[in-house]
Structure 1
């Protein structure tokens, strides 16, 4: 029997046929209990998914600590730290692969200057790039931060 997931994490949202990057994680699920628990853990309010079945929570969290369950080229499976018994979540980082979004950090700096956080984190990271015309643009990219060996 295949294991069912508690929900899915998303770093984007479809608006009027266009995909937009989010600054915080969006979680979708078919289970009202899971939606309510995610909202308590990560902030946000459960609401119906527009044009589809299920519920979504646009969280207040741009970073979540995770316990990795499995990684493949296109899918990341994990449980949320602090969510005892809630189950496994999936994140498909399309158009990137899991390998492309994975970064390692030193044991003493996973969460910023002076940080000592060595737990895996799933982050939505703003990245500033300069275009060929000289303008600056900010892209929001999902990143899986793993502690270095």
Structure 2
């Protein structure tokens, strides 16, 4: 029976290469390099963390979804996207965005911005203009979160 996986996600500011991203995720979760691999519907799913990425055209560029087998990672049971993103942001040296929890009334229009030094801010989404694929924030809306 395949393991039950916890799903967490975030969006990194830059276009982050797969090797650097996977290394940062592994370090953040206390895993060896072989513990993190690309999610592949047709491939093996035996790594502790499977990673699915999408590159956006502008704004925050690298959209990341992690499928974590918490039974094989140290101290990750119940980790939220915010906690994982905070760890990865520091290791990548990149700002990251995380959606607020589903029960947050502002979930549709706001984000948590996490800086590489671990600071967290609430931010409103900026209008993407004509590019619906992009996600960015209104820097003037930043407030401690």
Tell me, yes or no, whether TM beats 0.5: no
TM-score (norm 1): 0.29
Who wins on radius of gyration, i.e. which is larger?
1
| Structure showing greater relative contact order (alpha-carbon pairs closer than 8 Å, 6 or more residues apart) | 2
Indicate the structure with greater helix content.
2
